[in-house]
Structure 1
Amino acid sequence: MGKKEDLAAHIRAIKRAWEEMEPGRAERASLSRIRYLEQQAEKLESKPELDKTDKETGTSTVERSRPSTQGSLTQGK
């Protein structure tokens, strides 16, 4: 077996041990991941469009959703 196969087998063994110690853990984790992904999808859908194209000139402008942090990087030194 190669390193990748060894690692995969080790991870499967850990997951089996967790499930034996705490039945239902894998199912709860799966549901938690699904809820998280749904929340992230909702956040993306509710954000305003950031890249807008000026229809008259054909140029594109990008709006920032938060202020730039370039100045704050050097202030803490």
Structure 2
Amino acid sequence: MALFKITTTRSFRGSSIIIEPGMSVQVSTPYPVNPINVDGGRLVNDAFLRIYGIDLKRAGILNNAYLSAIQIG
């Protein structure tokens, strides 16, 4: 299992969602690949929904332009 820290890199304001740089979540994946690009980023989106109540996919910012992934484990 690989552990990733996903962090927002840019601000976003729209449709009653406010994202600030530095918001982060941790996700574990069975493979050491960027979880933003796997399965449509489902693990990352679920983690942001659980921690912050923010649906990144609905806002259209579930991509590498707004998020960075660093493997920490």
The two structures have a TM-score, normalised by structure 1, of: 0.22
Greater Cα radius of gyration, structure 1 or 2: 1
Higher relative contact order at CA 8 Å, sep ≥6: structure 1 or structure 2? Answer: 2
More helix by share: 1
More strand by share: 2
The two structures have a TM-score, normalised by structure 2, of: 0.23
